[in-house]
Amino acid sequence: MPSSPLASVLFVCVHNAGRSQMAAGFLSHLAGDRIEVRSAGSVPGDQVNPSAVEAMKEVGVDIAGAEPKILTTEAVQASDYVITMGCGDACPIFPGKKYLDWALEDPAGKGVEAVRPIRDEIKTRIEALIAEIDAAQEA
């Protein structure tokens, strides 16, 4: 096991209350300490979406203690991957970072039934991201 993380990933959405929190939860759960995980929002909400918390609990990932955080330039600079989820132009761009934009439906205001397919799509993308990071380390 490496003494330092293989990579650092920052997930960004507008409110840092749904998509980015679910993505951060999955990445922490699936990669452990191999990958450093951050999440933030351009206009953070007051709390993490309760439907997102419930949907993640169903698959054994606890994000109940997570809190929305403001997006900072420092968080972007400290990350190798910056994955945006509908925050548009709010995310600062720095050379040498890998930027990905994941077009995912916003779970805001939706019940847990509507959040499940979003959660499952995020998990699929997280598994692919972990494989990409692992492959880059082996190259």
Query: Which positions are annotated as active-site residues?
Result: 13, 87, 91
Closest CA to 82 of 42, 51, 32: 42
CA 45 remoteness from chain centre: 15
Q: How far is CA 3 from CA 35, 42, 124, 138, in A?
A: 11, 32, 27, 16
CB neighbourhood size of 29 (10 A): 17
